[in-house]
Amino acid sequence: MLKKNIAWAAQTQVAHWMQVIAGWKQMLGSDWDKTYAASNTIYVARQNNVLFSALAQFFGPEAVNDRLVLIETISFTTTPEEMLEALTRIIADRSVGAVFFGDYHLMDYELMGGDGRAAIIAEAPKFGQKPFLPPEVPFGSHQWPTLITPGPGPASLAQLPQ
């Protein structure tokens, strides 16, 4: 029964958000293409965040990580003021990246990430390790916010043994 209740709750939540977002899109008309949206998530829920996933259906792949942003938090809830502050900082940082580095999206990424990656690749063999790193993602990528590496085992409640 628990699996059925969770499926019903997911269907109810998705149906609600899809209707709400469709209403927003209709209300904004042609301004929708200039609209920004952000959803917050705790790290364990970022891969399958329901609201972000529903927003992505309306914004499209090209808006992901550009006008549609997933903001990771440490809190279960985030105030509207905190969300606006985070989104404002992201947009402001992009202008800084464009001015100083010639790339509008560079500040969305860990600045030392590329050099840190190179340093890990150089240092790991000294410790008998093979570097274990995520795939490189270009600045301005429209990939889903969480890179996914398939692994063994169930990935949803429906895949659990009965």
- pTM of the full structure: 0.82
Number of domains observed in the structure of the chain: 1
Is residue 66, in this structure, part of any structural domain at all?
A: yes
Is residue 97, in this structure, part of any structural domain at all?
A: no
Is residue 115, in this structure, part of any structural domain at all?
A: no
- Residue where the block lists tokens 């398939």: 150
CA gap 103, 94 in Å, rounded: 8
Is residue 99, in this structure, part of any structural domain at all?
A: no
Q: Whole domain around residue 28: which residue ranges? A: 14-84
Is residue 39, in this structure, part of any structural domain at all?
A: yes
* Blockwise average pLDDT, block size 10, the chain, 162 residues: 92 97 98 95 80 96 94 86 93 92 86 87 97 85 76 80 80
